[in-house]
Amino acid sequence: MANELVVIEKSKALDVFKSSNSVEDIISKIESEVNSFVNDVNTDKGRKEIKSLAYRVAQSKTYLDGLGKDLVAELKEIPKLIDANRKTVRDRLDTLRDKVRQPLTEWEAEQERIKMEAKHAEALEMNTEIDKENARHLALRIETDHEIALFMNEKRDRDLAEAKAEAERQQIAHEEEIKRQAAEAARLEAERKAQQEKEAAELKAKQEIEAAAQRERDAKEAQERAEREKLEAIERAKQEAKAAQERADQEKQVAIEDERKKAHEAEQARLAEEERKRQEDAKRQEDKEHRRKYNQETLQELVSNGFDEKLATEFIKLVASNQIPHMTMNY
C-alpha cells in the first residue's frame, strides 16, 4: 500500500513539473486532504492517525521531489544522447556514401590507368617507328614533334580541365563547408537557446519546489503552533478547572467550618443557657429552700408565741408576697 497522498504516471511527470498550475493542483489536493482531517490527541487512535497523516505528507514530498530529480537527470542525458546519435549519423552515412561511390571511384581510377597506359603505349610505338624509320627521321621527327606537341597540348588541356574540375569541386566543397558551418552555427545557437530555456525552466522548477517546500514548512509550523496552542488551552482549562474546584472546595470547607463553628457556638449557647437555667433553677430552689427555712422558722416562732399555725402560715404568705403594707420578710 502506497504511503504517498498523490501518484503521478512517469510518462506525465514532465508535463506536471513544466506547469505551475499542475504543481499547485497537486499541493492543493494534499492540503485539502490535510485540512479535512480532524485530529484528536486525546486518544491513542487519534494520535496514531495524526502521526500517519504527517508521515504520508512527508512521503509525498520525498516522492515528488525524487520524481522531479529523476526527470532533471534524464533531461540532462538528452543532449549527450543527441550528440552521440549525431556522430553515429555522420560516421555511418559517411561510410555508406563511400561504400555507394566505391565502384565509381574504382572505375574512374581504372579508366585513368587505362588511359595513361594507352598513352604510354602510344608514345612507345611512336618512338619505335622513329627508330625503325631513321631514313625518314627528319620528316618523321617533325611529324612526331607535332604529334607530341598535340599530345602535350591535349595533356595540358586535360590537366587544365582536371584542375578546373578540381577547383570547381573545391569551390563546391567550400560552399558546402560554409553551409555546414552556417548550419552548425545555427544548431549551436539553437542548442544555446535550448540550454538557456532548460536552465531557466530548471531554475523556475527549483524555485517552485523551494516555494512549495516553504509552504509545507509554514503549514507544518502553523499546524504545530495550532496544536501547541490547543494543548496550552486544554492545559489552561485544566488548571482553571482545578483552581475553580480548589476554590469551591475551599469555600465548601469554609462553609463547613462556619456551620461547624455556628453549631459549636449554638451548642455552647445552649449549654450556657441550660447552665444559666440550671443555676437559676438551683438559685430559685436554693432561695425557695432558704425562704421555706426562714418561713418555717418564722412560723415556729409565731406558733411558739401563741399564734394559730394555720393563721400564722397565711400571715407569712401575705407578708412574703408583699400583701401587707409596711411589712416585708427579711430573708
Report the C-alpha gap between 314 and 308 in whole angstroms.
10
What total number of domains does the chain contain? Answer: 1
Q: CB–CB of 55/1 below 8 Å?
A: no
pLDDT of residue 1: 38
Residue 76 domain flag: yes
Residue 301 domain flag: no
Task: Look at residues 95, 1, 124, 11 and name the one whose alpha carbon lies nearest to residue 52.
Answer: 1
Residue 187 domain flag: no
pLDDT of residue 257: 87
Distances (CA, A) of 233 to 35, 229, 241, 259: 21, 6, 12, 38
Predicted TM-score (pTM) of the model is 0.30
Residue 51 domain flag: yes
pLDDT of residue 252: 84
pLDDT of residue 153: 59
Residue 315 domain flag: no
Residue 52 domain flag: yes
Distances (CA, A) of 126 to 112, 115, 142, 239, 254: 21, 16, 12, 134, 156
Identify the domain containing residue 114 by its residue range: 1-129
Q: CB–CB of 201/14 below 8 Å?
A: no
pLDDT of residue 165: 62
Task: Look at residues 121, 129, 114, 142 and name the one whose alpha carbon lies nearest to residue 150.
Answer: 142
Residue 157 domain flag: no
pLDDT of residue 113: 83
Residue 196 domain flag: no
Digitized pLDDT (tens) for each residue of the chain, 331 residues in all: 355 566 677 667 677 777 778 788 888 888 888 888 888 888 888 888 888 888 888 888 888 888 878 878 887 887 887 777 778 778 877 787 778 778 887 888 888 888 887 776 776 676 666 566 555 555 555 555 555 555 555 656 666 666 666 666 676 666 666 667 666 666 777 677 767 777 776 787 678 778 777 887 887 887 888 788 888 878 887 888 888 888 888 888 888 888 888 888 888 888 888 888 888 888 888 888 888 888 888 889 888 988 888 888 988 888 888 888 877 877 7
